[in-house]
Amino acid sequence: MESQLKVERNIQVEQIKQSPTASREVEIVERKGIGHPDSVADGIAESVSRALSKYYIKNYSRILHHNTDQVEVVGGQADPKFGGGNVLEPTYILLSGRATSTVGDERVPVKSIAIKSAKDYLRDHFPDLDIDADVMIDSRIGNGSIDLRGLYDTRKFKANDTSFGVGFAPFTDTEKIVKLTENYINGELKKTLPQIGYDIKVMGFRKNKTINLTVAAAYVDKYVKDPTEYYSIKEELTNKIMDNAIKYTDNDIKVFVNTGDIKEDKVYYLTVTGLSMENGDDGSVGRGNRVTGLITPYRPMSMEAAAGKNPVTHVGKLYNVLSNIIANKIVEEEGGDIKEVLVRIVSQIGRPVDEPHVAGIQVIYEDNVDHSKHKNNIRAIADDKLAHISDLTNMFVDGKVDVF
- CB-based contact 196:182 (threshold 8 Å): no
Other CB atoms within a 10 A radius of the CB of residue 134 amount to: 22
150: pLDDT strictly greater than 90: no
Terminal alpha carbon distance of the chain: 31
Percentage above 90 pLDDT, the chain: 89
Closest CA to 302 of 313, 312, 291: 291
pLDDT in tens, 247-279: 999 999 999 999 999 989 999 999 999 999 999
pLDDT in tens, 19-61: 999 999 999 999 999 999 999 999 999 999 999 999 999 999 9
Which pLDDT band, with edges at 50, 70 and 90, does 160 fall under? confident
- pTM, whole model, 2 decimals? 0.94
* Segments in 159-224 forming alpha helices (H): 173-185
pLDDT in tens, 77-111: 999 999 999 999 999 999 999 999 998 888 999 99
CA separation for the pair 341, 118 (Å, rounded): 37
How do strand 196-207 and strand 164-169 relate by DSSP bridges?
unpaired
Closest CA to 247 of 188, 292, 287, 193: 188
Amino acid identity of 192? T
- CB-based contact 367:18 (threshold 8 Å): no
Other CB atoms within a 10 A radius of the CB of residue 117 amount to: 23
CA separation for the pair 360, 10 (Å, rounded): 8
How do strand 11-15 and strand 358-365 relate by DSSP bridges?
parallel
Secondary structure E strands in 238-293: 252-257, 270-271, 283-284
How do strand 210-220 and strand 270-271 relate by DSSP bridges?
parallel
CA separation for the pair 74, 26 (Å, rounded): 35
Which pLDDT band, with edges at 50, 70 and 90, does 388 fall under? very high
- CB-based contact 118:137 (threshold 8 Å): yes
Mark residue 184 as left, alpha or beta (left: phi above 0; alpha: psi -120 to 50; beta: remaining).
alpha
CA separation for the pair 394, 198 (Å, rounded): 28
- CB-based contact 211:177 (threshold 8 Å): yes
pLDDT in tens, 172-213: 999 999 999 999 999 999 999 999 999 999 999 999 999 999
- CB-based contact 140:101 (threshold 8 Å): no
CA separation for the pair 92, 77 (Å, rounded): 11
